[in-house]
Amino acid sequence: MRFEVRYFGGCDKASGAAVGAKGQMQSDLSEADFRTGVTLQQAGRFAEAAELYLRVAASRLTVNLAINLGACFHEIGDRDRAIQYLDLAARERPREARIRRVLGAAYGEAGQIEDAEAQLRAALAIDPADGLAEMALSSLYLSVGRYAEGWPLLDARARLHPDVVPAVDLGIPEWTGQPLSGKSLLVWVEQGFGDQIQMARFAGSLKALGAARVTLGCRPALAHLFTTLAGADAVVPIAVGAAASVTPHDYWSRYFSLPGALGVTLETLPAEPYLAAPADRRARWGGFGAGARAGLIWEASPTGFNAANKGLPRDQAQRLLDAGAISLQPGDTGAADFADTAAMIETLDLVISIDTSVAHLAGAMGKPCWTLTPYVHCDWRWLRDRADSPWYPSLRLYRQTRGGDWSDTVDRVVADLAAAGLGSP
């Protein structure tokens, strides 16, 4: 699920607005440093940008400078300093919704739930159309299991990100919980592979409500895998930017709209395994791994949400490979699609994965999976401060303890591999 924190341009040189001003700004040098900092921030080089911003702030700390500093510290996991600078900015501009929104997100990552909720609600009170604040508040509620409050706010995703949540215009009503007995429902494609795998479980819930026909739209790489999904009567593969022919249905919905319409809570979440490798792929990959017991995924799609924080550096991944895991990276295995990957997973005792689609696949299959979750922008679906997942009972979560450093997390995984007898002999 996407969430954005944008930089704020301009260092208030003309207006002179400042917080904690420390004398007159050395205008030429400071402005040049600020502009360079903005360039670095836009490029995702947040630590370098923060260093330049701090140099400017030593002369004069303006509101926009405080916002950018807070945003950079937020992006590198320095939670205390993120809150410090964003709070300064919010005090100076209490009616600016975007500052409240970013401060609320910073409080949320720091685990200060009440403060986060207060700031995000304040942002929405100032600007009720702030979709980014809606998404941030949704993520906050979902991360603490307040699903009834969180699901409706996810509707903002469609207007914020039409590139990954495409519009649906079929001339039929959207399903929002109407009786389904004898009706047909099309669940249309949105977001990434892992998102679709996670929410595909609800096909069975729709059938249990009496739906006569449930059709899932999905990316082509998921299509053959989804033929094993109980509750899916048909699968429509569609590539990004392509068109597909779909038979008439009574209703349509999207993957992430299903749990809200179904009234899903932590207590009613269906968590039994629901995907498997198709028989033809089992035959093809039955000898995968040559006796290896654990497979490893350490790289995420570079275009996916939070990719910079989710992936393991190569040296840390190598430690796990040296400990006996084998690569499940598609470029190493030759997998053509997720049906191939599922067949490989079935030959293993364990999957070790960063927060990416393969972790969802292993969980959906009921395969033990040790999932490494990032310290910075950890996704709401993994909840907070727990090592298990109500979405996937077979998962064990290994949470990164500080931004940019996976060493102690990998230490724990290596030790547990050895203790479980799943590592190198």
Give me the pLDDT at residue 29, please. 60
d(CA 100, CA 130): 11
Predicted TM-score (pTM) of this structure = 0.92
Task: Classify residue 34 by its DSSP letter.
Answer: H
CATH number at residue 200: 3.40.50.2000
| C-alpha to C-alpha distance for 243 and 189, rounded to whole angstroms | 12
58/98 same-domain check: yes
Cα(345)–Cα(361) distance, integer angstroms: 9
252 in the same domain as 120:
no
Identify whether residues 237 and 325 lie together within a single domain: no
pLDDT at 305: 85
pLDDT value at position 302? 82
**Residue 329 carries which side chain, given as an amino acid letter?**
Q
Pair 85, 143 in one domain: yes
Domain-embedded: residue 166:
no
Predicted local distance difference test score (pLDDT) of residue 382: 98
Same domain, 75 and 144: yes
Give percent of the chain with pLDDT exceeding 70: 92
Give residue 104's pLDDT: 98
Q: Do 235 and 328 reside in the same domain of the chain?
A: no
- The bridge status of strand 369-373 relative to strand 234-237 is unpaired
Eight-state DSSP code of residue 380? G
Residue pLDDT, tens place only, 54-110: 999 998 899 999 999 999 999 999 999 999 999 999 999 999 999 999 999 999 999
Structure tokens at 275: 């995907």
Residue-level pLDDT at 3: 34
- Classified as helix, coil or strand, 159 is helix
Print the domain residue range for 338: 279-420
- Summarize pLDDT for 144-182 with one digit per residue, the tens: 999 999 999 999 999 999 999 999 989 999 999 999 999
What is the per-residue DSSP string for 310-356?
HSPPHHHHHHHHHTT-EE--HHHH---SHHHHHHHHHT-SEEEEESS
Domain total in the chain: 3
Are 146 and 215 members of one domain?
no
Q: Cα separation of 183 and 221, whole Å?
A: 28
Q: Please tell me whether residues 202 and 294 are part of one structural domain.
A: no
Which pLDDT belongs to residue 425? 52
Q: What are phi and psi of 217, to 5 degrees?
A: -85, 140
Q: How far apart are CA 9 and CA 13, in angstroms?
A: 11
375 and 342 in a common domain: yes
Give pLDDT tens digits along the chain (425 positions).
333 344 444 444 333 333 433 333 345 568 889 999 999 999 999 999 999 999 999 988 999 999 999 999 999 999 999 999 999 999 999 999 999 999 999 999 999 999 999 999 999 999 999 999 999 999 999 999 999 999 999 999 999 999 999 999 899 999 999 999 999 999 999 999 999 999 999 999 999 999 999 999 999 999 999 999 999 999 999 998 888 889 999 999 999 999 999 999 999 999 999 999 999 999 999 989 877 899 999 998 888 889 889 999 999 999 999 999 999 999 999 999 999 999 999 999 999 999 999 999 999 999 999 999 999 999 999 999 999 999 999 999 999 999 999 999 999 999 999 999 887 65
Q: Is residue 267 part of a domain?
A: no
Query: Does a structural domain hold residue 144?
Result: yes
